[in-house]
Amino acid sequence: MQPGDDGRVAHGAGRPSWCVVHTDWGDGSAFLKAWQAWRQHPQRPRLLHFVAFTDHPPHPQAMRAAAQAWPGLSDLAGALAQQWHALLPGFHRLSFDQGQVLLTLGVGPAQTLLREQSFEADAIRLGHRGLPVNATDWDIHALKALARLCRRGTWLEVPAGDPQLPQRLAQCGFVTRSPQAPAAAAAREPLMWQGEFNPRWTPRPARMAPPQAPESCVVLGAGIAGACVAASLARRGWQVQVLDAAGQPATGASGLPAGLFAPHVSPDDAPLSRLTRAGCRATRQLAGQALLAGTDWQASGVLEHGARGRRELPALAPGVDPAAQAEGSRPATPEQLAQAGLDRSTPALWHASAGWLRPDRLVRALLAQPGITWRGQTPVTRLSRDAQGWTLRGAGDEPLAQAPLLVVAAGMASAAWLQAHLPLQALRGQIAWQVHAGHHEGLDLPPFPLNGHGSLLPAVPLDEGLAWVAGATFERDSTDPAPRPQELPAILERLQTLCPPAARGLAPEFAAGQVRAWAGVRATLPDRLPAVGPVDAQALPGLWVCTGMGARGLTLAPLCAELLAARLHAEPLPVSQRLAQALAADRFLEQKGL
């Protein structure tokens, strides 16, 4: 292994996290070496972030072949290959080793994408080892974009070559040393300039807020949003208490017996589409780490029936590999349509990265992780703040918990404390479900879930047995979570459009009153995007939220929790900064002119 190829991970020993940036992904072996060095170091940082950029993601086979040249990298290359799919232009977050090794891959020019991030880097390698840095690509403006991500002392390595480069780097605050040419030649290493960020002026970093050291935190709400936030913070060393009014976790909207995680698709690739694509990836990764596939969740693929008109996939920019899009979403094949009992002319998409999940299973698994204390039967009625931080109080105004950081993730109930800041709106919904009772074959159900106008999960292993789940109704401004049997026919009606054979098969059960109902209340915001981050940093310091998941909590909560943690720690964002800002919890303050 060459010096520096391990991303200087050893320099992060004993620190809570270490963030390496490589502006050129190359064949991926530098990431694998950094990951290996992290695994082997006895005092490894709790979290390793590796940020890298590539215009054209290499084929996994090529990366595996490159990894074979280095001892011990093959297994890591295999794990990388499993997540190496659907890499469209933009940012992708790949998560390894229980979320402790996080790869943020930017597909596109590093110079442009770096401006879409706001983190604090510890070590940077500019360009590709052995190849001189291209002076046009790394002009003064591009180097300034890189300098925005540095703290005093950020380590830098650049292939030697362009004689003007040290001067340009100095203009941006980097101090570089001349390469040790004879020593490098003797070791048959490429010549590298090394240095660090140490400007003569006070740097103005790009990050949204100074990184916060992990301490104690209270999360209000033990639904999927609260549990994901708790897990993301605990992974970073926080001691997290999760309070909930109910005696069991996941009794609110997250008590849904099972639901879908799936991407939204739009011809202009709207923020919701980009967000849900990243969300599906995050949900799959978290479910894969915390749950049992086939029992608690399944990346089954989902067929989206465009009953209300065809959903258009966005046009691909020139040069983008169509396979990258097809690995995520593509037109459904005639075989898939036939399996769903749909006519071959039916407009439909196949979302290969989608699937089903039992949210209560995920919530319970996350709350059981180290660093998290779950406290049920603890209804919170009032929040107050003093020099120590936030105090949550019960019905008799008694203090229930206190911490410098409070994250409100109480679904629609968050409005009780945040109404002046977040225009949350209730959207009640109901599903129908029933166990198959041994006659699955006779029901004519499709072999995979469907969504579109309503949804159908044909076979989910619930506690009561293998069951079908059909959804869902939408009723604005109702906060009544009680199921209503009189609404079940509306679900059958949706099913008749979504999947006629399934509706025919299940109609007798609906008619005989043998179908069970479950209802819950979704919390939505006017732009259909969640709210993540500080609500009002000036007026309510230390009060953050993660809510407004609407009808997509299973797709969005794991990603939103990682986004919240990244913002808190000035870590690389799992999505672009523009998308993160579209989710900012204080976005409505500006609209109201508060």
Ligand X SMILES: Cc1cc2nc3c(=O)[nH]c(=O)nc-3n(C[C@H](O)[C@H](O)[C@H](O)COP(=O)(O)OP(=O)(O)OC[C@H]3O[C@@H](n4cnc5c(N)ncnc54)[C@H](O)[C@@H]3O)c2cc1C
Distance CA 341, CA 497 (A): 11
Q: Does 256 bind ligand X (CB under 6 A)?
A: yes
Q: Which of residues 551-590 bind ligand X (CB under 6 A)?
A: 551-555
Q: What minimum distance in Å lies between the beta carbon of 428 and ligand X? A: 7
Distance CA 522, CA 411 (A): 7
CA 6, 125, 20 angle in degrees (round to 5)? 55
For 472, the token pair is 């869902």
Shorter beta-carbon distance to ligand X: residue 4 or 379: 379
Q: Does 95 bind ligand X (CB under 6 A)?
A: no
Q: Does 431 bind ligand X (CB under 6 A)?
A: yes
Per-residue contact string for residues 458-497; x = within reach of ligand X by CB under 6 A? -------------xx-------------------------
Distance CA 515, CA 362 (A): 25
Q: What minimum distance in Å lies between the beta carbon of 426 and ligand X? A: 10
Q: Which residues of 262-294 are buried (b: 16+ CB within 10 A; e: fewer)?
A: bbbbeeebebbbbbbbbbbbbbbbbbebbbeee
Q: Please give the C-alpha separations between residue 496 and each of 310, 351, 442, 493, in angstroms, as whole numbers.
A: 18, 21, 17, 5
Q: Does 341 bind ligand X (CB under 6 A)?
A: no
From the CA atom positions of the chain, what is the Rg in Å? 25
Q: Does 224 bind ligand X (CB under 6 A)?
A: yes
Q: Does 226 bind ligand X (CB under 6 A)?
A: yes
Q: Does 421 bind ligand X (CB under 6 A)?
A: no
Q: Does 449 bind ligand X (CB under 6 A)?
A: no
Shorter beta-carbon distance to ligand X: residue 238 or 261: 261
Figure out which of the listed residues 205, 214, 429, 454 binds ligand X, where binding follows CB under 6 A: 429
Q: Is 543 helix (H, G, I), strand (E, B) or coil?
A: strand
Shorter beta-carbon distance to ligand X: residue 129 or 567: 567
Q: Does 411 bind ligand X (CB under 6 A)?
A: yes
Q: Does 446 bind ligand X (CB under 6 A)?
A: no
For 209, the token pair is 């807020």
Figure out which of the listed residues 260, 352, 495, 585 binds ligand X, where binding follows CB under 6 A: 260
Q: What minimum distance in Å lies between the beta carbon of 485 and ligand X? A: 15
Q: Does 245 bind ligand X (CB under 6 A)?
A: yes
Q: What minimum distance in Å lies between the beta carbon of 411 and ligand X? A: 3
Contact 63, 48 (CB under 8 A): no
Q: What minimum distance in Å lies between the beta carbon of 249 and ligand X? A: 7
DSSP 425-459: EEEEEEEEEEE-TT-TGGGT--SS-EEESEEEEEE
Figure out which of the listed residues 146, 165, 410, 470 binds ligand X, where binding follows CB under 6 A: 410
Q: What minimum distance in Å lies between the beta carbon of 135 and ligand X? A: 48
Q: What minimum distance in Å lies between the beta carbon of 36 and ligand X? A: 36
> Can you tell me which residue has the tokens 């693929």?
301
Q: Does 549 bind ligand X (CB under 6 A)?
A: yes
Figure out which of the listed residues 54, 176, 254, 300 binds ligand X, where binding follows CB under 6 A: 254
From the list 430, 415, 363, the residue with the least C-alpha distance to 524 is: 415
For the chain, the first-to-last Cα distance in angstroms comes to: 55
Q: What minimum distance in Å lies between the beta carbon of 489 and ligand X? A: 16
Contact 468, 456 (CB under 8 A): yes
* DSSP category for residue 292: -
Burial of 523: CB neighbours in 10 Å, binned 0-12, 13-18, 19+? buried
Stretch that binds ligand X, among 133-141, 189-197, 303-311, 544-552 (CB under 6 A): 544-552
Shorter beta-carbon distance to ligand X: residue 29 or 555: 555
Distance CA 344, CA 338 (A): 7
Q: What minimum distance in Å lies between the beta carbon of 261 and ligand X? A: 6
Q: Does 222 bind ligand X (CB under 6 A)?
A: yes
Q: How many residues sit in the footprint of ligand X (CB under 6 A)? A: 42
From the list 476, 492, 472, the residue with the least C-alpha distance to 431 is: 472
Q: Does 246 bind ligand X (CB under 6 A)?
A: yes
Shorter beta-carbon distance to ligand X: residue 20 or 224: 224
Distance CA 233, CA 498 (A): 40
Shorter beta-carbon distance to ligand X: residue 494 or 522: 522
The DSSP H or E segment spanning 243 is strand 239-243
Q: Could you list the residues that contact ligand X (CB under 6 A)?
A: 220-226, 243-246, 251-254, 256, 259-261, 359, 379-380, 409-411, 413, 429-431, 455, 471-472, 520, 522, 547, 549-555
